[in-house]
Amino acid sequence: MSDKQKTILNDVKLTGTGLHTGKDVIITFRPAKEDTGYVFRRVDLPGKPEIQAVAENVVETSRSTVLYQNNASVATVEHVMSAIYGLGIDNLIIEIDGPETPILDGSSKYYVDSLLKAGITEQNTDRKYFEIKKTVIFENKETGTLIKAVPFDGIEYEVVIDYHSTVLGRQKAVLKSFDDYAKEIAPCKTFVFLKELEILLKNNQIKGGDLSNALVIVEKEFTQKEFDRIADLFNKKHQKYNGRGVLNEEYMTFENEPARHKLLDLIGDTALSGMRLKAKIIAEKPGHFANTEFVKLLRKEITK
């Protein structure tokens, strides 16, 4: 059975708003030749500079994964990369006319839908794999974060999160095959705690955020007046406050959606390894900084 590299058959584009910049943007996926990998192209800048989507080009991870090369950057790449990698696409040109990818609904679902609509096709060149021969570990004892790749004949992901939250509790998500990615992982939205959200809003850091593109976790009891004030920050209608829980629960797809979204992010960040992996990847309390530092360790092994 052949295992060939893949790209898409046709161009496909989406429009949306950047989560942090609030800027409208058009992102266009185009087929790419064998061994191209993943390349972002800033078509709004002189010379249309290109940015290779590899871990060495990561320059920021505080709220999202940001890449920089050739005097150009592109932010919040994780949901795009997750969709591409999760669908088994190896080579792609990603044109974008702004500094940040569109957040859409806060998941990878619409990216997946568009790429499937474009069609995925096999190419002539064999796919390259990096097979983990010995365990690779990134650990941050201060945060309790541990990410490791262990030898495995295939690819699996396992993620555990625990924010000591009375709402979320300890959650686990597992992906045993990319065949399940589009249905089980791609629709899972990003999430934020309400206490963080208010700070972000006041600091003008999530200009493109609203209640439809992130699950909002309410950890403490509020008065109705306080709750209305937060709605005003979003320019949203006042609604009845129902206590702790997920503020916009109507947008949830899975009970353990936060853990699944962290798995989605981890897939997007491990795509920056630049290769298909044969490994079981296990993560406790992952985040973009830890994910990309872990992938940098993989890249050192790959490029030896």
Active site residues: 288
Q: Distance (Å, rounded) from C-alpha 92 to C-alpha 33?
A: 8
User: Nearest 5°: phi and psi at 270?
Assistant: -70, -20
Amino acid identity for residue 266 in this structure: L
Contact (Cβ atoms closer than 8 angstroms) between residue 216 and residue 165: no
Closest CA to 222 of 208, 240, 237: 240
Q: Rounded CA gap, 184 and 122, in Å?
A: 24
DSSP 64-81: S-EEEETTEEEB--HHHH
The enclosing H or E element of 103 equals: none
